[in-house]
Amino acid sequence: MAILDILKLPDPRLKQVSEPVECFDEDLRGFVADLEETRLAGPAAVGIAAPQVGRFQRIVIVDVSGRPKTPNHGYLILVNPEIVHWEGYAIGREGCLSVPDYTGNVIRATGIRLKAQDLDGRETEYVMEGYEARAVQHEMDHLDGLLFVDRVVSRRTDLYRRKVYQT
């Protein structure tokens, strides 16, 4: 396994739309293992998408199980994810490995129904709410060349420089 380089804004490749995964093989499994190792090496990241490391396929990893009292499905590898229903809206603060210096307020659906494939190509459906739904929507945006800064309510009032703490 390897830690991959994270693409960072203003890298134009972050705007690229990703292609569906068609081949479910050992190469895909190896890449996903590297993607997870990269996520874990980052600063408390709950998700990562393949385009963030320069692979333009529709793959995301999300794991919000570390947040207490947060309804979730645990560690998820979502291949070719598609939101088939959403409901409600809420503003929430988001950050991103590809935009390390900022956080921002973004409007997202509060509940979603999602279908995706696993690493064997089997389709599964999930119903998600709250923080898990927000995290999945954030990661799925990467698959369409979008970053949270493209969705902030107002760049003037809802984009914040991330605090840096001395250790």
- Which residues belong to the annotated binding site? 96, 138, 142
Alpha-helix residue ranges (DSSP H) falling in 42-92? none
Instruction: Identify whether 12 is preceded by a cis peptide bond (ω within 30 of 0).
Output: no
The Cα-based distances of 2 to 27, 49, 65, 111 in angstroms read 13, 16, 23, 34
Whether 82 is catalytic is no
The annotated binding site for Fe cation is made up of 96, 138, 142
DSSP conformation letters of 93-138: EEEETTEEEEEEEEEEEEEEEEEEE-TTS-EEEEEEEHHHHHHHHH
Pairing of strands 59-62, 47-49: antiparallel
3 state SS of 63: coil
Q: Which one from 36, 82, 132, 139 is the annotated catalytic residue?
A: 139
Which residues are known to be catalytic? Answer: 139
